[in-house]
Structure 1
Amino acid sequence: MGNGEISKRVVIISVILFISAFGFALVSESTRSQGSLIFVNEIVKYDDGTYDCVYRGNLSIAFAAVTLLLLLVAQLIVTITTGCLFFARSAYKHGAVRTYAIVAFIISWLVFAIAFLCLIVGAIANHVHTNGHTTCEEVKSAVFAVGAAFTFLTMLMSILYYILISKASILAMPYAAGGPAYGGPPSVGLATYA
Structure 2
Amino acid sequence: MGNGEVSKLVVVISFVFFIIAFGFALGSEFKRSKVTKIDHNSDGTLECYYTGNISTGLAVAALLFLVVAQLFVTITTRCLCCATSAYRPGAARTFAVVAFIFSWLFFAVAFLFLIVGAIANHVHTHANVTCEELKSAVFAIGAAFTFLTMLMSILYYILISKASISAIPYGAGGPAYGGHGNRPSVGLATYA
Shorter-chain TM range is 0.7 to 0.9
1:145 aligns to what?
A: 140
Uncovered stretches (5+) of structure 1, i.e. residues with no partner = 180-186
1:57 aligns to what?
A: 52
The CA deviation string for residues 43-96 of structure 1, in whole angstroms up to 9 with x for no partner, is xx9x923x5210111111111111001001111111111110000111001111
Measured after TM superposition, the shift of residue 132 of structure 1 is 2.2
SS in structure 2 at match of 1:135: coil
1:99 aligns to what?
A: 94
- Contact 1:107 1:157 (C-alpha < 8 Å) held by counterparts: yes
Matched, 1:26 2:26: yes
Q: CA RMSD in A?
A: 2.5
Q: Alignment length, in residue pairs?
A: 178
> With structure 2 as the length reference, what TM-score do the two structures score?
0.85
1:37 aligns to what?
A: 37
Measured after TM superposition, the shift of residue 158 of structure 1 is 0.3
The CA deviation string for residues 12-55 of structure 1, in whole angstroms up to 9 with x for no partner, is 010011011000001101111111233458xxx9x923x52101
Pairing 1:44-123 to 2, within 5 Å after superposition: 48-49=44-45, 51-123=46-118
Matched, 1:188 2:181: yes
SS in structure 2 at match of 1:138: coil
Higher mean displacement: 29-38 or 75-84 = 29-38
Output the CA distance in 2 between the equivalents of 1:102 and 1:24. Answer: 29
- Contact 1:61 1:123 (C-alpha < 8 Å) held by counterparts: yes
AA in 2 matched with 1:48: G
Matched, 1:12 2:8: no
In 2 relative to 1, CA 108–56 (structure 1 residues): closer, same or farther, beyond 3 Å?
Answer: same
Uncovered stretches (5+) of structure 2, i.e. residues with no partner = 175-179
**Identity percentage over the alignment?**
66
Output the CA distance in 2 between the equivalents of 1:111 and 1:40. Answer: 43
Measured after TM superposition, the shift of residue 191 of structure 1 is 5.8
1:159 aligns to what?
A: 154
In 2 relative to 1, CA 116–154 (structure 1 residues): closer, same or farther, beyond 3 Å?
Answer: same
- Contact 2:18 2:65 (C-alpha < 8 Å) held by counterparts: yes
- Contact 2:3 2:165 (C-alpha < 8 Å) held by counterparts: no
